[in-house]
Amino acid sequence: MLRLNFALCLTATAFFLSAIACTPQNQGPQIVTRPPDTTRPTTPSVASPEVRGVWLTVAGSTVFDSRQNIALAMRTLKENGFNTVFPVVWLCGYTMWRSARMQREFNLPIGAQFGDRDVLRETIEEARLQGLTVIPWFEYGFSSFNSGLGTPPGAILTKYPQWSSIGRDGQVVVKNGFYWMNALDSNVQNFITDLVMEVVNGYDIDGIQGDDRMPAMPTEGGYDTATVARYRRETGMAAPQDFKEAAWVKWRADKLTDWLARLRQTVKARKPNLVFAMSPSPFPFGNVEYLQDSPTWMQRGLVDLLSTQLYRRDLPAYQGLLTQLQSQMPANARRKIAPGVLGRADPYISTAQLLSESITANRQAGMIGSVIFFHEALTPNNNETARALRQGVYRLDAAFPRDSLLRP
């Protein structure tokens, strides 16, 4: 027995010495690793890419009052999990950048309250410092003035009354206080295209965004002589007195969709990787009231990012609009939709809970994200709502989903 044990020890020792001899001298100690335990859950450090956007306004906001305010807003949004800003750049007949076209036509290169500043450039520079995506928002679109903000009809229609949208009564169309240009007039279309292209050509942006006023025009409009004559020439029919008559609505909406297609082509020819975004009113309201046929936009592949304004003040109503939106859009369009969520419409301010529930509803519906209207919904009580989102639905950072949006 002792001999056997001694023999076994000699054998083991020989095996050990042999193993040492075969090991390269500079390899160091061998570490035995175990395969990963796939039964234990892992916590990701980042979320899947999604749009986490906020609109930045002038009305009801002090963000653009100074560069310091802009910088603070960008830092706050970044710190609280947002990745995209949609700063307003066109409103009430003036721009937020120093526009050559507005200088030439109206001696108004930028909103008078901003003096020599270039607010868009400041916003882009401060957003870039925080790694935020910037998509300028042409809020007023084909509306050139609001009666609550100056002397009607504003500088544009004062100089070019022939650009006015005309109702069946022969008067300029004014709806909810907004004065409207004729969105079917080629000169007006070229004017808006020129403004968009100034921003596209002159600034380091990630996209551009239209609104419930671009492309849009109240269905009350279109009764100017040229449009009525064109409708008769193309259809053989007279423009009806009922401005919501189906064929008349469709003809005008189709003209705006065609302009949208041309605008997209112009933008993409210059910068193919810009995100072409729109934020219309919900369909069919947007179509019946403002000639916005957003399902057709998506069917034709004209929009990279759609943020339909699902502005409701309780979750069941929001979910109802969300379900309706899903049913109207092509099956593959959900990865291009980040619905607009109402955060504030003074004096109303949404709760953090409702915002979180709406964001969650968008995710569960397969949408690509959410955009909150507007920044000041997040800031009361030392950014209480923004911090609540960060602790909850925006706990993990997420990248902007550019590749998914730009894919056909």
Beta bridge partners of 207: 275
Q: Is the pLDDT of residue 36 over 80?
A: no
- DSSP annotation string for 29-82: ---------TTS----SBPPP-EEEEEE-STT--GGG-HHHHHHHHHHHHHTT-
* Residue pLDDT, tens place only, 175-221: 999 999 999 999 999 999 999 999 999 999 999 999 999 999 999 99
Q: Does residue 396 carry a pLDDT above 80? A: yes
The DSSP symbol for 107 reads S
- The tens digit of pLDDT for each residue in 15-30 reads 333 333 333 333 333 3
C-alpha to C-alpha distance for 326 and 320, rounded to whole angstroms:
10
Place of tokens 């975004």: 277
User: What is the tens place of the pLDDT at every residue in 238-262?
Assistant: 999 999 999 999 999 999 999 999 9
Neighbour order of strands in the sheet with 133-134: 133-134, 84-87, 51-56, 369-373, 340-342
In whole angstroms, how far apart are CA 48 and each of 35, 43, 45, 363, 369? 26, 13, 10, 11, 10
Domains contained in the chain, CATH given: 49-144+181-406 (3.20.20.80)
pLDDT tops 80 at residue 1: no
- For the residues of 316-348, what is the DSSP string, one character each? HHHHHHHHHHHHHS-GGGGGGB--EEE-EETTE
Q: Which residues, including other chains, have CB under 8 Å from residue 400's CB and lie 6 or more apart? A: 49, 51, 83, 84, 133, 206
Q: Are 239 and 225 in contact (CB under 8 A)?
A: no
pLDDT score of 339 more than 80: yes
Q: For the ranges 72-81, 143-152, 376-385, which has the lowest average pLDDT?
A: 143-152
In which band, very low, low, confident or very high, does the pLDDT at 46 lie, cut at 50, 70 and 90? confident
For residue 126, count other CB atoms closer than 10 A to its CB: 21
User: To 5 degrees, how large is the angle CA 350–CA 73–CA 113?
Assistant: 100
- Neighbour tally for 169: CB within 10 Å: 9
pTM: 0.89
The per-residue pLDDT of the chain, averaged, comes to 91
Q: Which amino acid makes up residue 208? A: I
**DSSP secondary structure letter of residue 228:** H
Asked if the bond preceding 373 is cis, omega within 30° of 0, the reply is no
CA 293/CA 216 separation, integer angstroms: 9
Q: In what order do the strands lie in the sheet with 305-306?
A: 207-209, 275-278, 305-306
Can you tell me the distance from the alpha carbon of 398 to that of 22, in angstroms, rounded to the nearest whole number? 49
The H or E element that residue 7 is part of is helix 2-21
